[in-house]
Amino acid sequence: MSTTRSTVRTTGVAVRAMLVLTLVLGVGYTMLVTGIGQLALPWQANGSLVQNASGDTVGSALIGQSFTDASGAALPQYFQSRPSAAGDGYDGGASSGSNLGPENPDLASAIAERKAAIAELEGVDPSQVPADAVTASGSGLDPHISPAYALLQVPRVAAARGLSESEVRAVVESHLQQRDLGYLGEPRVNVVELNLALDALRS
C-alpha cells in the first residue's frame, strides 16, 4: 500500500513539475524573448524584410534571389547574384550547397561554363570574372556578392537603365558593407538591396 502511495505521489510531483516547466520555459520564456526581439530589434526579428518603392514586401535582406527571366537568362538591368545550389536556385525551403569537392569534374565543368557565360554577358575576359560569380555559397541562399563582382556588372546595368556608369557605381559604393567588427568576413554588397535602390532611383 505504501509503495502504491509513494508511486502516486512521485508521479504527481513529476506531472506538476512538467506542467510548471512547460509554462515557464515553453511559454513564458518564448514570450519574453519574442517581446524583447520585437522591442529591441523588430526588423531583424520579423525576417529582415525589404520593400520596394511602392511599399510591397519583395524579399528578405538575408536571402538571395535570382534576377532572371522565365528562361533563366539574366535580366540586363539588374545586378546578378552568385549561383545557388538550393533546390532549383534560391529555394528557401531547400538550403544547401552542391557538396562537390574542388576537384570534382562536374563542379569544374560548371565553373568553366559559368565563367564563359558571365564573361560574354559582361563583355570581359574570363580571367576577370571573380570566384564568387561562378561558385555557390554553402547555404545556397547568400544575398551578397563581392565588390569586384558588383563593379564588373556596372557597365551592363548602366547601359540597360540608361544611366551613367558613375551613377550606378555610386549606388554600388553606397551599399558596400565592410567587415563585421572590422575584421570578420569580407567586404560585400547585398544584391537585393542594391537592385531595389536602383529601381527607386529610376522611379
Structure confidence by residue, pLDDT tens digits, 24-39: 988 889 988 988 888 8
Of the pLDDT bands very low, low, confident and very high (cuts 50, 70, 90), residue 1 is low
- The string of pLDDT tens digits covering residues 122-133 is 999 999 999 999
Q: What is the DSSP string of 32-93?
A: HHHHHHHHH-HHHHTT-EEE-TTS-EEEETTS----B-TTSPBPTTSPPPPP--STTTT-TT
- DSSP for 9-47? HHHHHHHHHHHHHIIIIIIIHHHHHHHHHHHH-HHHHTT
pLDDT digit string (tens) for 66-97? Answer: 999 988 889 999 999 999 888 878 888 888 77
Say how far apart CA 148 and CA 187 lie, in whole Å.
10
Q: Per residue in 133-148, pLDDT tens?
A: 999 888 888 999 999 9
On average, the pLDDT of the chain sits at 89
Contact by Cβ (8 Å): 100, 106: yes
Most confident of 12-26, 88-102, 157-171: 157-171
- Angstrom distance (rounded) from CA 24 to CA 18: 10
Is the Cβ–Cβ distance between 62 and 48 less than 8 Å? yes
Which candidate, 93, 153, 87, 88, places its Cα nearest to that of 118? Answer: 153
Judged against a pLDDT cut of 60, whether residue 203 lies above it is answered with no
Task: Provide φ and ψ at 21, rounded to 5°.
Answer: -65, -35
Q: CB neighbours of 152 closer than 8 A, spacing ≥ 6?
A: 122, 124, 128, 129, 130, 133
In percent, how much of the chain has pLDDT > 90? 48
